[in-house]
Chain A
């Protein structure tokens, strides 16, 4: 069986503890993944300073070139999986393997893989966005002279730990820039998705990146904790419970649930029909699996009308075979999970104040079985009561609640929100949104919440996570 090794300081290692990844449809084993014991990870982390030095010695322009080459290799080359066994992976193999263990349709895997390729290809632009245009050579020299001012940054980390999810491969675009910032990676991939991080690493190494800069450690909960405790800086992706232990640790960048929303001003709510495309894309794009997907639509009026129309639009998205080019919904690797989520929604619907508008459009129910896979069909809930528990629910499929709230209560009502797309021309309301600290990414534009620009910070700026500006003088003033 195909085996995915650990990469310990770049060197492949076959562990005696393995996890078997099964095919979502057939249940047949697809691969065995080596699992790191936590002590092995902390032992390897003793060497990160040397690994960082290897990266430090390479001029940043050269690393950017490596990233460009890696983008091509990622999308085209046969790359190693297990050098000991001599196994390799083509781009098509990668997409198929990714789809087979995560349940994401092949077509969506391709779109996500393209995001990864794009970020590697355009790393200079991404860096420019994150540093706000500071000359990249600051990463080589520690300072630059910009607009007659000395600008200096000190690196805060010898490695970046990344505890990654399995839900959507697009998230991997977030940590790749660390390498261009000369910070080696210590990756714990999501349990079902070792594929993308491994291939990214192999593409970068094949393009010339020192192998020791890419540590790859599939592991359990203890191992993940070890990474977060032992790396100078890290990021963790997960649900509320997973990230809760780390929210007070400034060394850890938290990527929790998004609770992203589309918000209408009183001026645009009556024109909701013009925005229905944007709303449905925000909810359902990428299988509705990302923290960027909208789980709520809040508006001062016309809510029920929009909700009915959205329900009709989303209920028309069928579950399809994962290989179908038109497939837009992801299958659940564990069918029981899909059933439990659906039961959870039904239980919550017993609490007065919420109604599933999609239910009447598909009498056969929310859980669908197609081509041997289990899916949850898009679900739109109308909330009479915006404080209903479902208003704060984010699920791993296209699921959204629609609520009517007066404009002056809206910002407070949405609570912590990762992405807000606000549809309003009301300048005063726009200003209020600009100043709302409970909103992370804000689109005052007709942009679906699910579409992000990679040169903008996401739940914290990676450059600011890894570097700190410091005072610096290198010559006695004249």
Chain B
């Protein structure tokens, strides 16, 4: 286990104190009739306490139980919009690549803020301001499409897009059609090659591990002039991190990411050879937090260095999501210099869900 400096411990404590303040502010916002959303106001009516009185800090969020993502399936989606924001233009984003009635999250500006925070952590040398981007991955009804575009614009660039429909990919996997899957992957990668070759100002790429592998089979991205790659999705693990850095894109700034529509976008701890390719992610606290907990007792946080299930909490004015049990597990990581709060390392699918979820989609 890492030993953190006392100075870092102090900063972590400060973060913690300001987090409690942020929690109080958010609870007040979401549970006040003037500002809160119909969903949370109705939720509060069924409680035998007033959250605004009882919740004094982060630890008190436990009394609300765990957010259930099933609540996000189906409509009306406007019940999630805080009254104070009701006249703003709304976006609705769907999560993941699953089929059936999708889970939806309404958004106003959160996705832009989240990607700006992430963008501020990118290197100006390898993700140059003014450079253009290629986004090769799932677009459609997902947050990702507009978010990457906003990130590119925020850094002065334009984003080109090639879409991959993860729902079709899942269907092909379920139907046992690897040849069709390969054909679809080639179709996607071929379009990306055309765009890359036609637009030399593209220096930055967002894509998924599988598509990056496929792209690198066809083109040397270093020679193509790519300097920064921002990569996320299933299969982003220690081995892929090493493989990407050593073989696929050596010399290119490779930035793994973890995120979803329900939280913001987590940033990786800056690459350090001493970490042996382990990827540690830090959420954009206080807007979002990770807790790594005992899978059999979600109220019990595991020790640093121990593996547990990931609980996500999102605390913005647009969205309140207390302690949602993610489908992922990971190792609780110590605060670091750049991000003085808890992170998560060695993420993987929660073991008990492994048999029921199609992974490796994109």
Contact = CB atoms under 8 A, between A and B. Distances in A.
Given A17-B239, A37-B239, A37-B240, A244 B217 contact: no
Contacts of A222: 360
A17 B213 contact: no
Contacts of A38: 210, 213
A15 B238 CA distance: 9
Nearest to B182: A229
Given A15-B239, A245-B176, A43 B217 contact: yes
A476 interface: no
Contact of B248 (A39, A228, A244, A245): A39
B73 interface: no
Contacts of B240: 37, 39
Interface string A34-60: 010111101100100000000000000
B217 A16 contact: no
A225 B178 contact: yes
B243 A229 contact: no
A192 to B, nearest CB: 18
Contacts of A225: 178
Interface string B228-257: 000000010111101100011000000000
B179 interface: yes
Interface in A185-241: 222, 225, 228-229, 241
B238 A16 contact: yes
Given A42-B217, A229-B182, A244 B176 contact: yes
Nearest to B240: A37
Given A42-B217, A43-B217, A46-B217, A37 B235 contact: yes
Nearest to A36: B239
A413 to B, nearest CB: 28
A249 interface: yes
Interface in B206-240: 209-210, 212-214, 216-217, 235, 237-240
B177 interface: yes
B239 A16 contact: yes
B178 A229 contact: yes
Interface in B160-211: 176-179, 182, 209-210
A42 B178 contact: no
Contacts of B178: 225, 228-229, 245-246
Label chain A's interface by main secondary structure: helix
Contacts of B248: 39, 43
A115 to B, nearest CB: 31
Contacts of B304: none
Contacts, number: 51
A17 B182 CA distance: 24
B243 A40 contact: yes
Nearest to B360: A222
Contacts of A246: 178
A228 B237 CA distance: 24
B277 interface: yes
A133 B176 CA distance: 40
A461 B130 CA distance: 60
Nearest to A17: B239
Nearest to A45: B217
A39 B242 CA distance: 12
Interface string A292-322: 0000000000000000000000000000000
A241 B176 CA distance: 9
B213 A42 contact: yes
A3 to B, nearest CB: 14
B314 to A, nearest CB: 31
A256 to B, nearest CB: 14
A228 B181 CA distance: 13
Interface in A1-24: 15-17
A334 to B, nearest CB: 13
Given A37-B240, A37-B243, A39-B248, A245 B177 contact: yes
B347 to A, nearest CB: 13
A14 to B, nearest CB: 10
B173 to A, nearest CB: 9
A260 to B, nearest CB: 25
A279 B315 CA distance: 71
Interface in B336-362: 360
- Interface centre among A38, A39, A225, by most B CB within 10 Å? A39
A17 B235 contact: no
B182 A39 contact: no
Nearest to A15: B239
Contacts of B210: 38-39
Nearest to B238: A16
A17 B237 contact: yes
B247 A43 contact: yes
A43 B240 CA distance: 13
B243 to A, nearest CB: 6
Contacts of A37: 213, 235, 239-240, 243
A11 to B, nearest CB: 13
A388 B239 CA distance: 48
A38 B178 CA distance: 13
Contacts of B176: 241, 244-245
A446 B237 CA distance: 55
B237 to A, nearest CB: 7
B247 A16 contact: no
Nearest to B185: A229
A408 B53 CA distance: 85
Contacts of A249: 179
B174 to A, nearest CB: 11
A35 B179 CA distance: 23
Contacts of A241: 176
B286 to A, nearest CB: 33
Nearest to B248: A39
A377 B95 CA distance: 49
A244 B237 CA distance: 30
A384 B240 CA distance: 56
B213 A39 contact: yes
Contact of B277 (A16, A39, A40): A16
Nearest to A248: B179
B76 to A, nearest CB: 39
B294 to A, nearest CB: 23
A337 to B, nearest CB: 14
B213 A16 contact: no
A16 B243 CA distance: 10
A9 to B, nearest CB: 13
Contacts of A40: 243, 247
Nearest to A223: B360
Given A46-B217, A244-B176, A245-B176, A16 B242 contact: yes
B189 to A, nearest CB: 12
Interface string B58-85: 0000000000000000000000000000
Contacts of B214: 39
B9 to A, nearest CB: 30
A77 to B, nearest CB: 32
Contact of B179 (A17, A43, A229, A244): A229
Given A40-B243, A249-B179, 4 more contacts: A17-B237, A38-B213, A40-B247, A245-B179
28 contacts: A16-B237, A16-B238, A16-B276, A16-B277, A37-B213, A37-B239, A37-B243, A38-B213, A39-B209, A39-B212, A39-B213, A39-B214, A39-B240, A39-B243, A39-B248, A40-B247, A42-B213, A42-B217, A43-B213, A43-B217, A43-B247, A46-B217, A222-B360, A229-B182, A241-B176, A244-B176, A245-B176, A245-B177
The 9 closest A-B pairs by CB, nearest first: A39-B213, A16-B239, A245-B176, A16-B238, A17-B239, A225-B178, A222-B360, A229-B182, A245-B178
